[in-house]
Chains A and B, each alone.
Chain A
Amino acid sequence: MSLETVADRPKTLLPVPTHYCPGCGHGVIHRLVAEVIDELGIRGKTAIVAPVGCAVLLYNYFGLDAYEAAHGRAPSIATGCKRVRPDLVVFTYQGDGDFAAIGTAEAVHVAARGEKITTIFVNNAIYGMTGGQMAPTTLIGQKSTTCINGRSAETAGYPIRMCEMLATLSGVAYVARVAVSSPKYVVQAKKSIKKAFETQIKGLGYSLVEVLSQCPTNWHMTPVESTKWVEERMMQYYPLGEFKASKEA
């Protein structure tokens, strides 16, 4: 009896050990992006723009051409690349500090221009790489190393909902928020990531997928607790769903 292969490593994903913490969402998200690239057959014409943050070493996992951006500037680098090489599929992969704090101007304007690129925006409500400081997406009451008693709206304001904000812009063709906390959400997340890339390939405009992700290390939780926290706390403030989808996509 021969064994049938039912699941394999995506060709786009390199067979290397991970540097991410146990329970971190990045590994799953990387895999989903890699599967989509494989399925769309765009491996030889895709360019990555890696962020500053936990995913800075993104290019170590993908056998693709890649830029490593300065903190927050990935959308501008992607823009310069795409304008020079419109035949390429260009995506940025950015965390919440990158996309919703230091790079907010770049995030808003890449969307406003309707730049034909895709952003995978990983929101784990904390600064991971620097050790757990407050993020622009940290929830009210959530503890971090720079709000040890929990984020207070009085002094730190309110978390930003990037999808809702950017969906108002005419240049944006596709916006969705997904999660990777359970198999059901992982399946949905992949569908949205694929739609986002298809939106770019069809030249419809800017596409954005926000992925709610877990950071057990800096949340001081077990991996299982952290997936529950995504579903019970994050999803309340950051509802999942498609906020904008072009009919052509």
Chain B
Amino acid sequence: MAKKEFMSGNDSIAEAAIQAGCRFYSGYPITPQNEIGERMSWRLPQVGGGFIQAESEVSAIYMVFGAAGAGARAMTSSSSPGISLMQEGISYIAAAELPCVIVNMMRGGPGLGGIQPSQSDYFQATKGGGHGDYHLLVLAPSTAQEAVNLTMLAFDLADKYRNPVMILGDGNIGQMMEPVEFKPPEKPFVTKKDWIIGGAKNRPNNIIKTLYLDPVVLERRNLGIAHKLSEAVRNEVRFESYMAEDAEIIIAAYGTVARIVKTAIKILRDEGIKVGLLRPISLYPFPSQAFAQAAEKVKNMLVVEMSLGQMLEDINLAVCNKTKVHFYGRVGGIVPSYDEIVAQVERIVKEAK
């Protein structure tokens, strides 16, 4: 068994990336995710990789574009305002179908906002974020260990679908220290990258581009990306179901909030209230079917987020009014406490009587 190490979520992600074969990182400092860049700065040279502290997030994402285009497993990380700056490059990366991993340790927004945990970039992460028709694959860890596992998975998914993958955490996931172990996948996804920039010697030249002036060709490109993503929607849905089997109320939450919900569920179960959790792990593709099925069984669902109701929209779409959907959100960097969630569920139970 691998040795357990005590690490922050940020450090865990950086180390997992190295062990997953990441050989290029570029980023710009921003709280609360600086430990990722700091660890990459000394770990990458140890394994023969490249680290650059860029002049801006705008530049950092294009360095990732260049490195991914040259065939390396490449990554960047930032937090909300910095991820906004990267959106131009993320759109280009999605359009050019370059595999890479982008980590967003969300902080309170909008604007400069704050540095405390938040989940208010859900729309930006799951709906595209930049211009044009595309999606990122989005994975949301709720523990440091899961951050390790999902980071390793993210590099495989990026290569498999030739699409950028986002690890969507929050300041809490990044800063909290927990025991983690590193077990690189037994069968890492290996793909032959015959499309990369590497010098056109004894082969036709490769061009990585996103400009298609002929609308017929551009539509075909868009449809190709959409088709690829529909494959991901079929194959890559991930979620955790916790005490949901006999539940009469389902709580929906991801990341940090899902952990707090589990504490609330224990208290509520002691009170005799049958409540369970559905925790999306992949936010795109979203586990719509799991929520649709749950909606057939329960009369009430409670969505808890550190936002004003962003994942809520995907849940409403999934359940099609078949259950009553309640919402509880805290924003600005405030993390909801378990007793607030307990009180919300108790209110729902009372109103249902």
A and B: partners? yes
A45 within 8 A of partner (CB): yes
A83 near B205: Cβ-Cβ < 8 Å: no
User: Closest Cβ of chain A: how far from B168's Cβ, in Å?
Assistant: 23
Find chain A residues with CB under 8 A from B69 CB.
67, 77, 80-81
Q: Which of B52-60, B245-253, B329-337 contacts A (4 or more CB under 8 A)?
A: B52-60
Tell me the bound Cα distance from A62 to B204 in angstroms: 11
B208 adjacent to A76 (CB under 8 Å): no
Give the distance in Å from the alpha carbon of A73 to the alpha carbon of B65 in the complex: 10
B210 CB, min distance to chain A CBs, angstroms: 6
Q: Which of A59-104 contact B (CB under 8 A)?
A: 59, 62-70, 73, 76-85, 87-88
CA distance A50 to B207 in the complex (A): 10
Q: Which of B192-200, B224-232, B311-319 contacts A (4 or more CB under 8 A)?
A: B192-200
Contact of A67 among B23, B58, B60, B197 (CB under 8 A): B197
| Chain B 46-72: CB-based contact to A (< 8 A → 1; otherwise 0) | 000010101110111011111111111
Interface size on A, residues (CB 8 A): 37
Residues of chain B contacted by A76 (CB below 8 angstroms): 54, 58-60, 62-63, 65-66
Whether A47 contacts B56 by the Cβ 8 Å rule is no
* CB of A248 to closest CB in B, whole Å: 24
Taking the complex as formed, is A141 at the interface, i.e. its CB lies under 8 A from any CB of chain B?
no
List A contacts of B67 (CB < 8 A).
80-81, 83-84
Q: Is the CB of A84 within 8 A of B24?
A: yes
Is B74 part of the binding interface, using a Cβ–Cβ cutoff of 8 Å?
Answer: yes
Q: How far is the CA of A44 from the CA of B202 in the complex (A)?
A: 8
Q: CB of A166 within 8 A of chain B?
A: no
Could you say which residues of chain B place their CB within 8 Å of the CB of A77? 62-63, 65-66, 69
| Contact between B55 and A80, CB atoms less than 8 A apart | no
On whether the beta carbons of B202 and A73 are closer than 8 Å, the reply is no
Is A70 in contact with B62, judged by CB distance below 8 angstroms?
Answer: yes
**How far, in whole Å, are A44 and B200 apart by their CA atoms in the complex?**
5
A76 vs B27: C-alpha distance when bound (angstroms): 12
Is B3 in the interface zone, CB < 8 Å from A? Answer: no
Candidate in B60, B198, B202 with the most chain A CB atoms within 10 angstroms: B198
- Determine whether the beta carbon of A88 is less than 8 Å from that of B59: no
**Does B88 touch A at the CB level, under 8 Å?**
yes
A56 to B169, CA, bound (A): 37
Q: Tell me whether B300 is interfacial, beta carbon within 8 Å.
A: no
CB distance from A6 to the nearest CB of B (A): 28
Q: Which residues of B in the span 197-221 have a Cβ within 8 Å of any Cβ on A?
A: 197-202, 205-211
Chain B interface, number of residues (Cβ within 8 angstroms): 39
Contact of B89 among A46, A73, A83, A113 (CB under 8 A): A73
Given contacts A47-B197, A73-B59, A85-B198, contact A80 B210 (CB under 8 A): no
Cβ distance B68 to chain A, nearest Cβ, rounded Å: 8
Interface residue? A147 (CB, 8 A): no
A30 within 8 A of B: no
- Interface pair A84/B50, CB less than 8 Å apart: yes
Which residue of the partner chain B has the closest CB to A108?
B55
> Is A105's CB under 8 angstroms from B24's CB?
no
Question: Which of A67, A69, A87 has the most C-beta atoms of chain B within 10 angstroms of its own C-beta?
Answer: A67
Q: Is the CB of B62 within 8 A of A80?
A: yes
Min C-beta distance of A5 to chain B, whole Å: 25
Tell me whether B201 and A105 are in contact (CB under 8 A).
no
A79, B66: Cβ atoms closer than 8 Å: yes
* Cβ-based interface call for A109 (8 A): yes
- Give Cα A121–Cα B287 distance, bound, in whole angstroms: 49
Which of these, A63, A81, A88, contacts B205 with CB under 8 Å? Answer: A63
Closest to B204 in A: A63
Residues of B within 8 A of A80 (CB): 24, 26, 62-70, 74
For residue A23, give the distance in angstroms from its CB to the closest CB of chain B: 23
CB-defined contacts of A67 to chain B, threshold 8 Å: 65-66, 69, 197, 207-209
Query: Contacts of B50 on A, CB cut-off 8 Å?
Result: 83-84
A197 to nearest B CB, angstroms? 15
A200 CB → nearest B CB, Å: 14
> Across the interface, do B70 and A85 meet the contact criterion of CB distance under 8 Å?
yes
In the complex, whether A106 has a CB less than 8 A from a CB of chain B is: yes
How many angstroms from the CA of A104 to the CA of B200 in the assembled complex? 30
Q: A84-B24, A85-B199 are in contact. List 12 more A-B contacts (CB 8 A).
A: A49-B66, A64-B205, A68-B209, A76-B62, A76-B63, A76-B66, A77-B63, A83-B67, A84-B50, A88-B197, A109-B54, A113-B52
Q: A residues near B, CB below 8 A? A: 43-47, 49-50, 56-57, 59, 62-70, 73, 76-85, 87-88, 105-106, 108-109, 113
A-B contact pairs, 9 of them (CB 8 A): A63-B205, A65-B198, A67-B66, A68-B208, A76-B63, A80-B26, A84-B23, A84-B67, A106-B62
Task: List 6 tightest A-B contacts by C-beta distance, closest first.
Answer: A80-B66, A44-B201, A76-B62, A83-B50, A80-B67, A77-B66
